[in-house]
Chains A and B, each alone.
Chain A
Amino acid sequence: MHNIQRLKPLVVTLVMALCFLSGQLSTEVFAAASEAKIGFALSMTGGAASYGATQTKGAQLAIDEINAAAGADGLKILPVFEDDASVPQQGISVFNKFINADKVSIIIGPTLSNTAQVADRIAQDAGMPVLGISNTAKGITEIGDFVFRNSLTEMIVIPNTIKVAKEKFGLKKVAVFYGNDDAFTKGGYEAFKKALADAGIEILTEQSFAKGDRDFSPQLTQIKGKNPDAIIVSALVEEASGIVSQARQLGIAATVPIIGGNGFNSPALIKNAGEAAEGVMMGAAWNASSTLPANSKFVAAFTAKNGGAPDQFAAQAYAGVYIAYEAIKKAGSTTDHKAIRDALLQLKELDTVLGKFSFTAGRDADHIPVVQIVKGGKFTVLE
């Protein structure tokens, strides 16, 4: 009997918690007929907070432009931004909320591939189209036919980079340096490794670091001892800038190029590594210096609004909003998710800041990657 007595407070709290939670259900907002609700699941806190922040800015800019252009009668976007705190668990909660409470037309996000691995399955099961704007790990779009991404994967970007670098520098033997506790950098490493093997380039040494490391000198010293023709780095920009500047500080000659992937394509690299960033090469999905009208307009507007230049994450978020908007308009419905999914697949050669954009049959991004090099403190395209 006394056991039941002791259970009582627990039951009471559980019931109270449930009531409180269900009370939230009534706060649903229904979109007007000419408004398309888009759910943004982005990481605003936690490990990927800096990416979530720039993605939010990129997306918000696109939304503002679209809504201003839509006028009184046109289709407007009603965005719902939610923070997944960089953890899969909360990503799932956010997706469930978007699907069942907000009843959005399409979900954009999540920021991290690991979160996408679990959350996208929920969207797939519910028949909700989801557009990844920064997921580059393999296996994301294989989850199902409602999962799309506009972020060019490392598997496409990197072989191209290695090919260009080999032609330009005559690479024979290189050192590889990568982050081994992060899905993005580890995936990049695997892509590099495969591309190097295919190109017949020898790997002298493989070194790794952990997310959050700031001191890379022990590994770089080992690399220096091997005298490689180039250093291949798979890192996000936080680590990339430190790697680049410490490599030069340790006396690795500027004639030994440092080659990176998508993660390097950020103004923060040039800002934080300073002069050491000169000559750094990277394969990327977005050409920052592109003079396409759409891109120049984006860079100017973004810089004016946020007081700093955009990076690839902002560009992909910006493009993602336009892509989703185009599809919803084409589908002619904000609630028919299947029609929106079909419309996404049918988009062809859409003009975006990423270039002419289409999806592959596998729902991955299909546009041409670029190889950039830092020259005079600016990203320029390596021809």
Chain B
Amino acid sequence: MEALTQFFAIYGSLVNFIGINAILALSLYLTLAAGQLSLGSAAFAGIGGYTAGILTMKLGVPFLLSVVAGSVLSGLVGLLIGLPVLRLHGVFLAIATLAFGEVVRITVLNLDITGGAQGLVGIPNHTKTWGIYLALAVVGYAIAKLRYSRLGWCFESIREDETAAGAMGIDTTYYKTLAFVLGAMLAGFAGALYAHLNYLITPREFGFSVAVDLLIFNIVGGTRAWYGPILGAVLLTALPEILRGTGITAGPMRMAVNGLILLLVILFLPNGLVSIFRRSASKAKDSTLAISEEA
């Protein structure tokens, strides 16, 4: 028991970050599930985080209400951006969302209400570890359920071949936008939780490199199963601390190991870490398929 207390004293905040990053990774997963490569998740998290932070801090709005408000606003912006950009594909969509993310970051930098470069300081500390993991559990469950629902199959078909999906009578624009907006809302939600974790958020925490990190979580974990992004987020968020523990403290070395792990995963585990489990559990998967087809 004492060891556990000690563990939380040292790694408590890391555990929180892991949870938040896992939710963020899932928000991108939703978009990826419909085959849309977005680099805007970090910006949506920023919109949610700043909205919720400003609401609780400056207007005294209750925590839960401001989290909801942050998610909703983020979703609305997602809708506004999604409608024009989702006509784009692949890398082009990625770059359009990236440009959007940069515009959001620069706007936040230049506003007074957000505190500019110094960040929004003094946000009350409302987010608790159990809250994060409860949220993660609910979101994870919902996304796992979604995968074998009608909606999930629509996403999957668009991801496999958008033209064919359209020909089959699936309203691809509707489903793509839906996936994008849901992803934006979830990112905004995670951002709002994050804002209430450490008194402070800064524009840099929602920049390009974070957007890339979220993508990396998904790839390393694997996007063929709902728990892939969670796995990626857990491993890669903990990695700096694991390396620190193993004595690889020198700066550049740690960075190199980070890059190397990413490279090895992409080269040898095409479907991410998930494929390790999937291979052994392929039987279970077959039976799942059978069940959901019956249903």
Contact = CB atoms under 8 A, between A and B. Distances in A.
Complex: A in contact with B (CB within 8 Å): yes
Contact of B13 (A10, A25, A82, A96): A96
Interface of A: 2-3, 5-7, 9-10, 13-14, 17-18, 20-25, 27, 44-45, 49, 52, 81-83, 85, 87-90, 92-93, 96-97, 99-101, 113-114, 117-118, 121-122, 137, 139, 179-183, 185-187
Given A117-B200, A118-B200, A82 B288 contact: no
Nearest to A95: B13
B13 A93 contact: yes
A139 B202 contact: no
Contacts of A89: 13, 17
Given A81-B249, A118-B199, A186-B116, A96 B11 contact: yes
Nearest 6 A/B pairs, CB to CB: A44-B251, A24-B245, A100-B9, A9-B277, A45-B251, A186-B117
A117 B115 CA distance: 13
A83 B251 contact: yes
Interface string B223-237: 001010011001100
A122 B9 CA distance: 11
A6 B119 contact: no
A183 B12 contact: no
Contacts of B7: 18, 21-22, 25
B199 A45 contact: no
Given A88-B202, A96-B12, A17 B144 contact: no
A35 B74 CA distance: 52
Given A6-B225, A21-B241, A83-B251, 9 more contacts: A3-B141, A3-B144, A6-B144, A25-B6, A83-B249, A88-B198, A96-B14, A183-B117, A183-B202
A325 to B, nearest CB: 23
Contacts of B106: 181
A121 B123 CA distance: 13
Given A83-B249, A181-B117, A186-B118, A114 B200 contact: yes
Contact of A82 (B10, B14, B249, B281): B249
A90 B287 CA distance: 43
Interface string B177-209: 000000000000000000000111011110000
A174 B292 CA distance: 72
B126 interface: no
28 contacts: A2-B288, A3-B144, A5-B284, A6-B225, A6-B284, A6-B288, A7-B227, A9-B277, A10-B230, A21-B7, A21-B241, A25-B6, A44-B251, A45-B251, A45-B255, A83-B249, A88-B200, A90-B240, A93-B241, A101-B10, A113-B118, A122-B13, A179-B117, A180-B109, A180-B110, A182-B117, A185-B117, A186-B118
Contacts of B287: 2
A90 B11 CA distance: 11
A85 B121 CA distance: 21
Contact of A21 (B11, B121, B200, B284): B11
B85 interface: no
Contacts of A85: 240, 251
Contacts of B144: 3, 6
A92 B245 contact: no
A300 B235 CA distance: 46
Given A9-B277, A22-B7, A45-B255, A93 B121 contact: no
Contact of B227 (A2, A10, A25, A101): A10
Given A2-B287, A10-B230, A14-B234, A139 B121 contact: yes
Contact of A97 (B10, B141, B251): B10
Contacts of B277: 9
Contacts of A45: 251-252, 254-255
Contacts of B200: 88, 114, 117-118
Contacts of B288: 2, 5-6
B199 A100 contact: no
A102 B46 CA distance: 34
B40 to A, nearest CB: 19
A114 B250 CA distance: 22
B252 to A, nearest CB: 7
A83 B254 contact: yes
Contacts of B6: 25, 100
Interface string B10-26: 11111001000000000
A24 B3 CA distance: 11
Nearest to A1: B291
B9 A183 contact: no
B180 to A, nearest CB: 26
A99 B246 CA distance: 19
A2 B257 CA distance: 36
A5 B109 CA distance: 46
Nearest to B119: A114
B91 interface: no
Nearest to A119: B198
A49 B12 CA distance: 26
Contacts of A5: 281, 284, 288
A119 to B, nearest CB: 9
A24 B241 CA distance: 10
A36 to B, nearest CB: 20
